[in-house]
Amino acid sequence: MSTPSFGNIGGKAARLALLRVNGFPVPAFVAFSGERVSRTARSADWDELAKEAAATIGAAAYAVRSSGSAEDAADASLAGAFSTEVAVPASGVANAMRRVAEDALKKAGTLDGFGIIVQAFVEPAFAGIAFTRHPFGGRETVVEWHAG
């Protein structure tokens, strides 16, 4: 089975889309491509993207996250390297998107290949990551988590 193409939205957003396509319970989201983020950053009109996200998702609160093409590679991950904003009210989505993009521009020096995800925010009881293989070698599963 071939992997569907989701365009230039970055690895994180493409994986979220793939999970949704395959029936996993991923909170609703909109992924904006690197080209659209770059164009919006030049015009400084984040309101258009924020309105599109709110109309599509319609949540009480949002998470605004990066999805860069270089963030998740086969041999490396930059997870957590760029800003993520959580529990953002609809009125704050445009500014949150601007801050996430500014953080990426500051750290990466470019917005090329840098998408943004706006997702319905779900207040977690626990948050973390599970590695199906130890990130430093070995075959054991590693789970890192914290409350909230």
pLDDT in tens, 39-63: 999 998 999 999 999 999 999 999 9
Cα dihedral 114, 128, 3, 118, rounded to 10, equals: -40
Q: How confident is the model at residue 2 (pLDDT cuts 50, 70, 90)?
A: very low
- pLDDT above 90 covers a percentage of the chain that reads 48
Length of the chain: 148
pLDDT recorded at residue 32: 94
pLDDT recorded at residue 1: 39
E strands present in 33-84: 61-68
What is d(CA 51, CA 145) in angstroms, rounded to the nearest whole number?
33
Average pLDDT over residues 112-130: 89
Q: How confident is the model at residue 68 (pLDDT cuts 50, 70, 90)?
A: confident
Average pLDDT over residues 89-107: 94
Distances (CA, A) of 72 to 10, 11, 68, 93, 126: 8, 6, 8, 24, 22
Q: How many CA atoms lie within 13 A of 7 on its CB side?
A: 10
What is d(CA 24, CA 6) in angstroms, rounded to the nearest whole number?
17
